[in-house]
Amino acid sequence: MKDFKVAGRYAKSLFDLAVEKGKLQEVFQDFSDLNQSIKNNKQLHTMLKSPVVPAYLKAKVLNQAFSSEFDNISMQYIELIVDKRREHLLPEIAWLLDQFYHEHMGIVKATVTSATEMGDENIATLRKSLENSLKKKIVLNSKVDESLIGGFVLRVADNQIDASLRTGLNEIRQNLVN
C-alpha cells in the first residue's frame, strides 16, 4: 500500500509536468509502451525488481532500450526514478498515469464480456450508446466467457450490469431453493 502511494505521487507529478510542457500524449504513449515492455519481457521485469542489480546498470539498459523512441521528458523521468531507487514502481506509475490521462481526456474505460464473440457492428453500437448516455468518450474492450451461456456483462468504471443467462439462472435457482 505504501508503494502504491509513492507511485501515485510520482505518477501525478509526471502527469502535471507533461500537461505543463504540452507533452501529455507523448508521455502517456511512452509509459504505455514501457509498461507493455515490462509485462512482455520477464527479464526486464526481473531486473527492475532486483535489488542486486545496480542502479547505473538499470539506467543503462532502460536508456539503450527506449531513448531513441521516447520523449525527452519520459527518459529524464525514468532516469530520476532509477536514481531514487524506485524503478520497481514503474509498472504502477505507468498504470496510474494511464488513469490520470483517461480522466483528464474525459475517456471512460468499459469492458463487455459475452458468451460468444460480439461483432464489430455490435461493439460499435454499444460504444455509441454508452457515449450518448454518459456524454464521454468510451474505450470499449470485448471479452468472451462461454460460461455466461448467453447475454453479457458490462463493466463501466466501477459499475457493472450483469445481463447474462448464467446470472439469471442462478437467481431462479436461488428463488426455487428459498
**Do 126 and 91 share a structural domain?**
no
How many angstroms separate the CA atoms of 28 and 74, rounded? 9
How many angstroms separate the CA atoms of 115 and 147, rounded? 7
- What is the DSSP pairing of strand 151-156 with strand 137-144? unpaired
- From 103, 124, 146, give the residue that closes a domain: 103
pTM reported for the whole predicted model? 0.77
**Do 113 and 94 share a structural domain?**
no
pLDDT tens-digit map of 1-22: 678 899 999 999 999 999 999 9
Q: Which domain holds residue 97?
A: 2-103
pLDDT tens-digit map of 131-162: 998 899 999 999 999 988 888 899 998 889 98
Residue 166 has pLDDT above 90, yes or no: no
How many angstroms separate the CA atoms of 76 and 66, rounded? 11
Q: Which three cell numbers stand for residue 85?
A: 531507487
Distances (CA, A) of 58 to 36, 46, 54, 87, 153: 17, 11, 7, 8, 42
pLDDT tens-digit map of 79-105: 999 999 999 999 999 999 999 999 999
**Do 110 and 99 share a structural domain?**
no
Domain with 91 in it: what CATH number? 1.10.520.20
